[in-house]
Structure 1
Amino acid sequence: MKNIKGFKVAVALYTVLVTASCSTSPKGDGTLTFVESNENALTVCHFDQVKNTININLSELVEDLKIIRFENTDNAFFKSCNLCITDHYIGIRQSESLPFLLFDHNGKLKCQVGAIGNGPGEYSQTIYDEAINEKTGEIYLSFFFSLPKVLVYNTDGKFVREIVTKEKLSKPKVEVDDNGDITIIHMPFTYNKEKFLATVYNKNGSFKQELKPTPNFLQENFNQDIFAYHNVPEFSFWLSSCDTLFHYDKNANKIYPKFKMDFGKMSETPLHIYNELPGYYLTAMLWDKGIIAVNKEKQTSNYARLINDFFGHMEAPMFNFSNGWFYQMFEPGRLITQIEKRLADSDCSAKDRKQLETMLESIDEEGNNILFMGKLKQKGK
């Protein structure tokens, strides 16, 4: 991954920091540097100055907590998955060679979306990203590599159309506006004929605009990745080769750098992933090194633990936020283990104990998965 010096070159290519000035926040645990211009503000968190760990209650981030028990029919069972949650639906992206599933908030299977195969509306490649838009009543699936299209289905799982792109997509991320415009960001390669970083099509699949990549975004191989968790109004994404979280402004057709970690003079950069919430920038330090949370409003940075104060004050995964929702999926046996572990804690209150024991008695160990989920509170941009 590139260091901060390499990143400044990338920023210069976008001319967003031509008139930049820097300031350092005196607040909080880790020092934050702010690089500002007329158009943009970039936050830099200095890794070696983040020391302390704080607890964040889940109720500070989400409106409430729903517990979803998925139905126990054969077609509804699933194992490994990624989730796409909306106000009325839960989309389940399964592992390779298994179809996308759509459930309601009661855990009832509504439909299988499309089918595995090579015919119209079918897919045999791994789904890489998805969007469910309740305004348009449609589901959008994009695929891992080398397909120049996004497939569109209705919420009955029936194939509607495909959006054909100018170039084959590589690890594409998608977002859909209420009017049906679809924005795609993918990983452009040096050998692509029609290189683009971002592109927009209308609901009928007609091309509207694209943003060409500057050299720092071009890839020689498939070793890098794009991450986009769709938790804020802006199209927030990061490409690991640039090691910076960016916003794509569709109206201006520009990319703005928003956040990165500065790892200083470390000989080897720790593996990490960025996410963004309305109130925080998150950095997952892999291999159990913890989550760094940068509070945008307070301008502080700390390691953070998420406490589910809706349910037994169990510890929850701090990084599990996607599509504007918190999620925590449990196989029944694992949830039983987690509850028993919490019940054994000396600080488990009588109120929490009653709630946990009631839940424990209700779990069918042979049943389908159980989902904890809550909608993110939205703050100002």
Structure 2
Amino acid sequence: MKRNVVQPVVGLMLTALTAACGAKNDNAAGGASSLAAFDQLPVVAERVQLPDGGSIVVADPGKAGEKVTLKLSDLADDLKIVRLENSDDALVGAGQTWITGERIIVYSDGVVKQFDFEGKYLGQIGAKGNGPGEYSIAPYDFYVDADAGRIYMVQYNATKLMSYNSDGTFAGDIPLARQMPKGAVRVDTKRQRITAVSICFDGSKSRDEVWEQDFDGNILSSVSMPWLEMPMDFSNELYSNIGSRAEGFSYAMFRIDAAADSLYEYDGRTLRPVFTAGIKEGLMHKYDRLGG
């Protein structure tokens, strides 16, 4: 199964790799040869049944042997280079980049700027500062509800979502039901529903890794898994594709202590482990799921 992949390059150029989920059509140029490349790769994982009737894929990276090289064409169907507008207002330097909801969002030099997928500058989102709609530190994540014309920003240690109109003007704050040290959201503006994922720290009052709430901050459902709590160290990171999927999503953490862990999938009721690897203790690693 091919994957949808978006890879940003910080600066004035942004490279996006996009691939359809599913195998290439054999009638397409290079279709058969690209699939053949996978037939020659070593098998490094197997599916293991769990006591609850589910299953998990367990990988052993050591079975890969020598380094395996794949062509970009084996993984992606299309490559697009987006040249960002280079006017004085649009200029950005090194920083963070998000690609979501037909927007390229860049945080650079203390401000957030947005571009469309052709690189046209669409304006600034909010402003640097401490007033309404302003931010004094880098954002952690964004979600764009294009149909509703809203942009949602998640800060570090967030207790609220900051919402903006599509032109970047401030539209108001929405209270979060749980404090979110590092997290991401999916927002249904029309139904006024928020689905949130967050890192949970040991000893904190925020004990839900996943929850759904309304715009008034009322919890509608939640998932708490105490064994996923981590030491209070902001070097840990959360990886989830919640912002790019209409239903379900993945949940995984980068742990600074490099402890063994898994990639989880949310199925509407709970987080279930779906992938893990026999990583040598102490070896830093992360799991992430992109597209298919």
Same fold (TM over 0.5): yes
| 1:239 maps to amino acid | M
Matched, 1:61 2:76: yes
Corresponding residue number in structure 2 for 1:72: 86
- Structure 1 residue corresponding to 2:263, chosen from 245, 260, 263: 245
> Is 1:149 aligned to residue 160 of structure 2?
yes
Letter matched to residue 273 of structure 1? K
- Could you report, residue by residue, the CA deviation over 1:78-122 in whole angstroms, capped at 9, with x for unpaired residues? 122333324632122336xx1221112231211111111111111
Give the CA deviation at 1:39.
6.1
How big is the shift at 1:236?
1.1
Q: How does 1:17-166 map to 2 (within 5 A)?
A: 28-37=41-50, 40-52=54-66, 53-58=68-73, 60-62=75-77, 64-86=78-100, 88-94=102-108, 98-145=110-157, 147-166=158-177
Question: Distance between the aligned counterparts of 1:30 and 1:84, measured in 2?
Answer: 33
**1:270 Cα shift?**
2.2
Q: Measured at CA, do residues 178 and 159 of structure 1 come closer, stay the same or move farther in structure 2, by a change above 3 Å?
A: closer
- The CA RMSD over aligned residues, in Å, is 2.7
Counterpart of 2:24 in structure 1 is none
Give the 3 Å change call, closer, same or farther, for CA 194–107 of structure 1 in structure 2.
closer
Question: 1:186, 1:91 → 2: CA distance?
Answer: 21
Superposed CA offset, 1:143-166 (max 9, x none) = 122x31111111110111222123
User: Deviations along 1:301-343, whole A, 9 cap, x unmatched?
Assistant: xxxxxxxxxxxxxxxxxxxxxxxxxxxxxxxxxxxxxxxxxxx
Distance in 1 of aligned mates of 2:64 and 2:189: 39
> Helix, strand or coil for the counterpart of 1:193?
coil
**Structure 1 unmatched ranges of 5 or more:** 1-26, 280-381
Contact 2:200 2:230 in 1 (8 A): yes
Any residues of structure 2 matched to 1:193-232 within 5 Å, and which?
193-202=205-214, 204-222=215-233, 223-230=235-242
1:273-284 to 2 correspondences below 5 Å: 273-279=286-292
2:140 counterpart SS class:
strand
The residue type equivalent to 1:90 in the other structure is I
Offset, 1:182: 2.3
| 2:250–2:265 Cα contact (<8 Å) kept | yes
Q: Secondary structure at the match of 2:144?
A: strand
- 1:172 is matched by which residue type in structure 2? G
Q: Give the C-alpha shift of residue 170 in structure 1.
A: 0.5
Change (3 A) 1:198 1:94: farther
- The letter for the 1-side match of 2:198 is H
Identical aligned pairs, as a percentage? 26
Cα contact 2:100–2:142 (8 A) shared by 1 = no
- Alignment correspondent of 2:178: 167
1:269 aligns with 2:282: yes
> Which residue of the partner structure matches residue 11 of structure 2?
none
Call closer, same or farther: CA 1:35–1:142 in 2, change over 3 Å: same
Q: Which has the higher contact order (CA 8 A, sep 6+)?
A: 1
CA contact (8 A) 1:228 1:275 kept: yes
1:112 and 1:130 map into 2 onto residues whose CA distance is 14
Normalising by structure 2, we get a TM-score of: 0.73
Structure 1 residues 83 and 126: alpha-carbon distance in aligned structure 2, compared to 1, 3 A threshold: closer
Tell me how far apart the structure 2 counterparts of residues 67 and 143 of structure 1 sit (CA, whole Å): 29
Instruction: Give 1 or 2 for the bigger CA radius of gyration.
Output: 1
Hey, what's the Cα distance between the residues in 2 that align with 1:67 and 1:59?
A: 19
Instruction: Show structure 2 runs of 5+ residues with no match.
Output: 1-39
1:44/1:262 contact within 8 Å kept:
yes
- Higher percent of residues as helix: 1
Match of 2:274 in 1: 258
CA deviations on 1:50-96 (whole Å, 9 max, x unpaired) are 1251414347434x33322211212211122333324632122336x
User: Structure 1 length as normaliser, TM-score?
Assistant: 0.57
